[in-house]
Amino acid sequence: MKWPLRSPEIPPASSQEDGGELTVSQTSKALNTLLYRLKAANRDYRFLDLGPASGQKLEFLSQYGTKVHFEDLYRTLNSFDYLSPEDGVSYDSIFRYLLPYQRSIQFDVILGWDLLNYLRPEEFKHLMRHLTRFCRPGALLFALISTQKTIPEQPASIEIVGPETLSCKTNPRIMRKCPQYQETDLGRFMPNFRVLNSFLLRNGFKEYLFACDRG
């Protein structure tokens, strides 16, 4: 049985263009704050990027770390069709299988982009529980949480253009319901993380920079 991630599709809003992919550039204060913290410590870092791999991101992040791990987790989950919670397999087991890192691996930075908007509460909670095992105390997590009622059917493809600029490619033709996670939800789903900074953007997203207090 396939592990479903999709919500029922709903028609796109009338203000959206009936076309192909849309690419927009946006200023990211949270990314700028994250990079400032990395520069201040002046050491090498290990990154986990939960979006699609790209040479552009790898080149940019390599300025700050010697190891960059990419895991296009949304698409991995969407194609994972032979084990599911409905079959009696726990979320913990699923994430251990899909993200089988060695216990010696300790990430300093996790780039979640807008992935969390596409996870159901139980998926969200168990993913964060799993990732916490591989976070160095004080590890930073960057995430974009949508405040809108609807979001594109799939997460944006995000590139790092500069220290405070992101390029976001989405397809607005098909929209889905957004969970609109609040900070109270984040506190319940991410008990080992605390909010360091948050910034409300004009495009309907709220940027978060979290720190892991494990250890």
- Per residue in 17-28, pLDDT (tens digit) is 445 789 999 999
Angle at 213 between CA 208 and CA 215, to 5 degrees: 155
Written as one letter, the residue type at 32 is: N
Domain count, the chain: 1
User: Is 1 within the bounds of a domain?
Assistant: no
pLDDT at 1 over 70: no
pLDDT at 6 over 60: no
Q: Taking residues 175-188, what's their average pLDDT?
A: 96
Q: Taking residues 94-107, what's their average pLDDT?
A: 92
User: Is 150 within the bounds of a domain?
Assistant: yes
pLDDT at 82: 57
Predicted structure pTM score: 0.88
Q: What is the CATH number of the domain that holds 179?
A: 3.40.50.150
User: Is 131 within the bounds of a domain?
Assistant: yes
User: Is 191 within the bounds of a domain?
Assistant: yes
pLDDT grade for 192, boundaries at 50, 70 and 90: very high
User: Is 55 within the bounds of a domain?
Assistant: yes
Written as one letter, the residue type at 10 is: I
d(CA 192, CA 214): 6
pLDDT at 15 over 70: no
d(CA 190, CA 178): 19
pLDDT at 81 over 80: no
pLDDT tens column, 26-62:
999 999 999 999 999 888 999 999 999 999 999 999 9
Block residue for tokens 């993380």: 193
Task: Give me the chain's average pLDDT, please.
Answer: 88
Residue 53 belongs to what domain range?
9-212
User: Is 2 within the bounds of a domain?
Assistant: no
pLDDT at 18: 47
Beta strands in 77-192 (DSSP E): 107-113, 135-146, 150-152, 157-162, 165-170, 175-177
pLDDT grade for 85, boundaries at 50, 70 and 90: low
* 131 burial level (CB within 10 Å; 0-12, 13-18, 19+): buried
pLDDT at 83: 59
Q: 48-57, 83-92, 129-138, 172-181: which has the minimum mean pLDDT?
A: 83-92
pLDDT grade for 12, boundaries at 50, 70 and 90: very low
Q: How many CA atoms lie within 13 A of 207 on its CB side?
A: 20
User: Is 108 within the bounds of a domain?
Assistant: yes
User: Is 162 within the bounds of a domain?
Assistant: yes
